[in-house]
Amino acid sequence: MEHGKREGSGARPSFSSLFLQERVRIFCSLAETRSFSETARQTGISQPTVSRQILELEDDLGFALFDRTTRPIRLSPEGRMLLGVLARQREDLGKTLDLLRTDNAIRRPLKLGIVESVASGMSGRIARGMKDLYSTLTILTGISTYLMQLLDEEKIDFLICPEPFLNRNDLTRSFIFREPSVLAFPPGFDLGPLEPLSWEGLQTCGLPLVHYHEMNSGGKLEQKYFNALGLEFPARFTADINAILLGFVKEGLGWALVRPTTLAQHDDLARTIQAAPAPEPLLCREVYAVTRKGEDPAWTNRLTSLAAESFRLDIVPKFIRKVPWVLESLRVSGEGDPSGVPFQS
């Protein structure tokens, strides 16, 4: 029987499958050492195994790789040709791996901070919409000042918040959306004597205002607004997160000035309270994407676009039935308009 053409041999394997086999590594080592014992030592396998693997490779290929009539052995003409092809293939594979490593390095981590009121609504769409850009994703939540601290410490690179930090010249800001505030009252509270609703009437409605804490951006916005109108509401109940504030309202402890996104975030609590339009002039909240100057604008633009899309498609539908009158006051990021465009349902 001629060597390399044993009975029972099936179809020849493809070169690519041979290249990935362990015996090809043994062949390359043997071509270099020209010694079965030295190849066994280098590859960590027995000498008989080296011999068997080479014989099986020759059998699959259909030709001899080595001239065994000389000492030390030497490559056959076919073996030299195959070794050259393997060397080129190995070089090409190395280049491909380098490109893949480089591409993976280009895809940087996405470290994002989002304020509590929109974090759950926006995170999923942003994660899906930017997955071709980032290697890993981290999303942290908290109040605006805490997230800005994380940005300064480079623990996050972007934040979505209602505080534009206009006193900082080292930041860039992109408008995402604007929403008006609404009034939240306990279930069953009689609003009839207060109609039409006014700030003066709310001061004597028999219920205290549940305040946002001054460290919260909502608390800062609220206090600035009341100061401008010359209004004062004693602080009996104060909270720094939406769930606690709405919980106080649900329990009949007071009324609150909240945003529609807060109602969307806590739909279970929102279903139990009464919502009503806030008196004029409206107190509106704007939300921005904030990052350090010099950040890649492609990332910022994609993030702003996805956040605005999430506001339109994921968040607004959750609150619009509860507070339909806010539609005319909503604005959302629009191409070519830094202050946004009217919301289109």
Region of residue 34 (left: phi > 0; alpha: psi -120 to 50; beta: else): left
Structural domain includes residue 20: yes
Please name the residue that has the structure tokens 């534009």: 164
Structural domain includes residue 50: yes
**Stronger pLDDT, 18 or 78, i.e. the higher one:** 78
Q: What is the pLDDT of residue 105?
A: 56
For residue 334, pLDDT over 60 is answered with yes
Structural domain includes residue 141: no
pTM as predicted: 0.69
For residue 16, pLDDT over 50 is answered with no
H-helix segments, 107-216: 116-129, 144-152, 199-203
Structural domain includes residue 62: yes
Structural domain includes residue 94: yes
36 vs 41: CA distance, rounded Å: 9
Q: What is the pLDDT of residue 42?
A: 87
User: DSSP of 271-332, one letter per residue?
Assistant: TTSEEEEPPSSP-EEEEEEEEETT--HHHHHHHHHHHHHHIIIIIHHHHTTTSGGGGGG-EE
Average pLDDT estimate for 295-314: 93
Longest distance between any two alpha carbons in the chain, whole Å: 112
Domain holding 39, by residue range, is 15-105
For residue 70, pLDDT over 90 is answered with no
Structural domain includes residue 324: no
In the predicted model, what is the mean pLDDT of the chain?
A: 87
Structural domain includes residue 23: yes
For residue 60, pLDDT over 90 is answered with no
CATH of residue 75: 1.10.10.10
How many domains are contained in the chain? 1
For 243-275, the pLDDT digits (tens) are 999 999 999 999 999 999 999 999 999 999 999
35 vs 50: CA distance, rounded Å: 10
Structural domain includes residue 254: no
